[in-house]
Amino acid sequence: MLASNREEIEARKLRVLLIDECHLLWGDVTGYVWGRTDQEIAIEVVNERDKQTYYGAVDYLDGKLLLKAYNAGNSKNTIDYLRYLLDQSPDQRLLLIWDGASYHRSHLVQDFLGEINQGLPPEKWKIHCIRFAPNCPSQNPIEDIWLQAKTWIRRFCALIPTFRHLKWMFEWFLRNTMFDFMSLQMYGVFSEIKS
């Protein structure tokens, strides 16, 4: 799909976005523990109520992340995020590559895609979706982006007094970083477009 649409991608008529959701928890700020390898370490798990869900899509060509916060990952929010992506790409068709989350495959999302693409042949669809292999987060480079952002905020854990501050720092990092790393280069022939 990518190689066969190379001209449209290079001409920026077809925008390739790699999508995922991230659930930020207040406990993420203290995500590391050190201890002896020969001793079991017991960690109390608390049901944290402070959480934020983010939908993110990284543009394969320029590394820009399109980020939007939601209260949860679900069909309604997925549709809203897809509308947001359409608004951010007014003169482009979208090729979305994402995982097989149940709300990505729901009847509501399928109905929305049917409305957007109604009557068009597949090669003209406004939104075309491709799924990563099941249970293989290593295929999705945005997983590395979430990890980078969480690692960055963990460096400042002693300075983050509230969950509101944590969210601000997380979003600031994501909105002010251009991403270009090895997992963005793993799509074979398609990776040559970036050179």
Task: Tell me, yes or no, whether 22 lies in a domain.
Answer: yes
Task: Tell me, yes or no, whether 94 lies in a domain.
Answer: yes
Q: Which residues contact 29 (CB under 8 A, 6 or more apart)?
A: 153, 154, 157, 160, 166
Q: Per-residue pLDDT tens, the chain, 195 aa: give them.
A: 777 888 898 889 999 999 999 999 887 665 555 567 777 766 554 545 789 999 999 998 888 899 999 999 999 999 999 999 999 999 999 999 998 889 999 999 999 999 999 989 988 999 999 988 777 777 788 888 999 999 888 888 788 888 899 999 999 999 988 776 666 666 544 544 444
Task: Tell me, yes or no, whether 87 lies in a domain.
Answer: yes
Task: Tell me, yes or no, whether 35 lies in a domain.
Answer: no
Q: Which domain holds residue 75?
A: 3-28+47-194
Per the structure, how many domains does the chain have?
1
Task: Tell me, yes or no, whether 76 lies in a domain.
Answer: yes
Task: Tell me, yes or no, whether 34 lies in a domain.
Answer: no
Task: Tell me, yes or no, whether 41 lies in a domain.
Answer: no
Task: Tell me, yes or no, whether 40 lies in a domain.
Answer: no
60 by Cβ neighbours in 10 Å (0-12 / 13-18 / 19+) ranks as: buried
Q: What's the CATH code of the domain at 71?
A: 3.30.420.10
